Structure 1
Amino acid sequence: MLIANPNARREPYPDDLLDIMSMQKAAESRAWLAHWQHLNHQGTPLYSLPGLAAQLGVGHVWVKDESARSVLGSFKALGAPIALVRLILRTFPARGYDAPGLLAGKYATSLADFTVISATDGNHGRALAAAAQSIGCRCMIVLHAKVSTEREEGIAAYGAEIIRISGNYDESVEHAAALAASNQWRVVSDTSYDGYEEIPRDVMQGYGTMAAEIIEASSEWHGSGCAFTHVFLQGGVGGLAAGIASYFWEQYGEQRPVLIVVEPEQADCLYQSALSGKAANATGSVDSLMAGLACGETSTLAWKFLRSSVDFFMTVQDQDAVDAMCKLATGSPQDIPVVAGESAVAGLAGLTQIMSTPGLASKTGINRQSKVLLISTEGATAPNVYAELVGETATSVLARQKEWLAAV
């Protein structure tokens, strides 16, 4: 399903949103992240996929590959450490902490009793656990029933203490908030709710690093204007989409590209928000293979940005995601094979659906001249699940990727 957003606007980036998130703050976050050992400081590749573009019937397709961002395997490595650093700096202003020193563990002894907690579907929790371990503070992670043991082990490997509940993601968020209140811990969540927006804002601000890298890379062959006509963004609670959309909006103003947000049909909170014009809840079971996007409640903070910047909201089925994973993994003589996890491929699943439905292609203005950007937000963060779905291990795909690069 696809809906045109009636509230989308073409105008300069509003001052009220600039006060919340800006390219300037994103640049500061990016500079701080340069001091964190868990990140690839050369940034992540932006691949051109001409074979896929021809197959779909568009002019160009580019994929930003966030699997190469970090050993943590996803874009979440950009948000959690920034949010944790900014929280500590605000909490202890008199202690003279600095961001690079925090990320290097310089103040670990004095922060040993400081405890943070968060609910997660996997990637945010893993990134927060790694950041807390680097800084030297304690980290508690709440996991709901659908989070795999494989993902749990990946989080625990970074020293986090795991708390399991029997409910879904939204219930795990509530449980984390209750534990924080009763134990005087601090919630570091990537979703906002009433009275809780400062930390989710910091998480989203960290995602601006992706947008900055994309614009820098594309400017080398395109110049100062926007290189893309259409940008597909994952849904979830809306944090990633808001972080990228706000950056493109501030950079290009009324000349920003068409922005399309994609989410699972059973976790359609952003689609429902577009229908109602305000932050809303999903209507489905919120039980999706796309674990990182299986969210039932829209982030109220993220919606402040998405309400006016996103042109279309759409939903896809789980099988669409599996097909997209396989398509990227296969590659071609023209296209590099890419390891993309279940939540990473929502954009490609959406683009494929649009281009196979003439009415949708016309509605969104995507044609043979279109220049489309996709963001592959994670690699095989659950390697066994990836191998089962794709029919090939991530290690095997990466070996073919290495061969492809050597041949070009």
Structure 2
Amino acid sequence: EKPKIISATDGNHGRGLAWICHLLGLRCEILMPAGSSEERQENIRKLGADCRRTDGNYDETVHEAERFALENDWLLVQDTALPGFEKVAQFIMHGYLTMALETVEQLKGKCPTHIFLQAGVGSMAGAMCGFFASLYGPDVPVISIVEPKTADCVYRTAEKDDGKLHNAPGSLETIMAGLSCGEPCNVGWKEIRAAASHYFRIEESVAADGVRVLSSPLENDPRVLSGESGAAGFGTAFELLFHKAQYQEEISSLGLNSESVLLFFNTEGVTDRKNFLKIVWEGAFAEKV
């Protein structure tokens, strides 16, 4: 009998899962947190998956999917390393390595000095940390982890550094929907802790500026259409460098200068057009709070 797949998502993971289940002819159920984008939900449904919104935040939705999987003998495909599902989280992290390998191939021998990685549960960031630490060894670039202020579980775990994982409380509400996670992935955290040296919690305006700048480049720079989560790392570097006088201490700590080569990963396109236009056309989330 073919496995039945279930997962929780803020959008991208669920869409990718729905796509592969469609190709393989597998039944797929996707749960989304309360307040999730209708467009992202509809894109998942278009791929043939059942998709519904829950009453909870992302972490509560993950645990609802976990309960359903255990009670109904479905396969939970989640990048949070829940007890009994660690192997699945590791497989997902292995999948992210494709992105890292393609990046190195495109760099053609040029080595970045700094890498900015956005983190939700930390599985993508952890995979990248493991890859680049392995590739560059003692010459590993300066790696910074970026999260929304309202969903800063990796930051809290790094800050305590007591051998335990620390959750972010509250609704986890942020325009960076893909990073709206309160429980870090233990498998991802091990790699992050070994390789990352800087951690940032950012305002909504920082991600929004990232979206705006990428979509409106100067001169001959290529235009990049990015979602809020995908632009978080770039937005952080832009905030630091565009307001240099304000962030002298951080810039010095990172060792950023005119010779620096910065690497970012845009992990999503415009998956919520309504919000994208609010940010780019209407200037939403410009205020720093």
> Which protein has the larger Cα radius of gyration, Structure 1 or Structure 2?
1
Check the 8 A contact 1:315/1:350 in 2, yes or no: no
Higher relative contact order (CA 8 A, sep 6+): 1
Q: CA deviation at 1:193?
A: 2.3
Equivalent position of 1:151 in the other structure: 40
Q: Is the 8 A contact 1:169 1:295 kept in 2?
A: yes
Equivalent position of 2:287 in the other structure: none
CA gap 1:185/1:191 in 2 versus in 1, 3 angstroms: same
Counterpart CA distance in 2 for 1:373 and 1:311 is: 15
SS in 1 for 2:126: helix
1:248 aligns with 2:132: yes
* Equivalence map 1:100-111=2 (5 Å): 111=2
Asked if the contact 1:268/1:284 (under 8 Å) is kept, the reply is: no
Residue by residue over 1:72-115, the C-alpha shift from the partner in whole angstroms, topping out at 9 and shown as x without a partner, is xxxxxxxxxxxxxxxxxxxxxxxxxxxxxxxxxxxxxx63xx20
CA contact (8 A) 2:57 2:171 kept: no
Residue 339 of structure 1 is aligned with which of 201, 225, 245?
225
| Separation (CA, whole Å) in 1 of partners of 2:260 and 2:191 | 25
**How far apart are residue 154 of structure 1 and its match?**
0.5
Residue in 2 aligned with 1:88? none
2:257 corresponds to which residue? 367
Match of 1:219 in 2: 108
The equivalences for 1:2-401 within 5 A come to 111=2, 114-219=3-108, 222=110, 227-277=111-161, 278-283=164-169, 285-355=171-241, 356=243, 357-391=247-281
1:177-205 deviation digits (Å, cap 9, x = unpaired): 11111111110011112332100110110
Distance (Å, rounded) in 2 between the aligned partners of 1:166 and 1:241? 28
Could you tell me how far apart the structure 2 residues matched to 1:195 and 1:186 are? 11
Q: Secondary structure at the match of 1:200?
A: helix
Query: Percent of pairs identical after alignment?
Result: 38
Given that 2:36 and 2:53 are in contact with CA atoms closer than 8 Å, whether structure 1 keeps it comes out as no
What amino acid does structure 2 have at the position aligned with 1:314?
F
Q: CA deviation at 1:283?
A: 4.3
Amino acid at match of 2:81: S
Rounded Cα–Cα distance in structure 1 between residues aligned with 2:170 and 2:65 = 23
CA distance in 2, matches of 1:305, 1:195: 20
Q: Quote the offset at 1:165 in angstroms.
A: 1.1
Q: 1:253 to 1:307 in 2, by over 3 A?
A: same
Give, in angstroms, the shift of residue 149 of structure 1: 1.2
For the residue of structure 1 that corresponds to 2:269, the secondary structure is coil
2:124 counterpart letter in structure 1: L
Runs of 4+ in structure 1 deviating by more than 3 angstroms, as ranges, are: none
Once residues 133 and 7 of structure 2 are traced to their aligned partners in structure 1, the CA distance between those partners, rounded to angstroms, is 30
The letter of the residue matching 1:364 is L
**Alpha-carbon deviation of 1:216?**
1.1
Equivalents in 2 of 1:288, 1:168: separation in Å? Answer: 11
- The answer to whether the 8 A contact 1:267-1:293 is kept is yes
CA contact (8 A) 1:259 1:309 kept: yes
Which amino acid in the other structure matches residue 368 of structure 1? Answer: S
Structure 2 residue identity aligned to 1:317: E
Shift of 1:369: 1.5
How far apart, in 2, do the equivalents of 1:322 and 1:215 lie?
Answer: 28
Amino acid at match of 2:254: T
| In 2: Cα distance, 1:262 partner to 1:334 partner | 28
User: Paired residues, what number?
Assistant: 276
Q: Deviations over 1:247-300 (max 9, x none)?
A: 111111111111101010111101001011132111454100000001111011
Q: Give the C-alpha shift of residue 353 in structure 1.
A: 2.9
TM-score normalised by the chain length of structure 1: 0.66
Aligned AA for 1:338?
A: V
- Root-mean-square deviation (CA), in Å? 1.4
SS of equivalent residue, structure 1 residue 207: helix
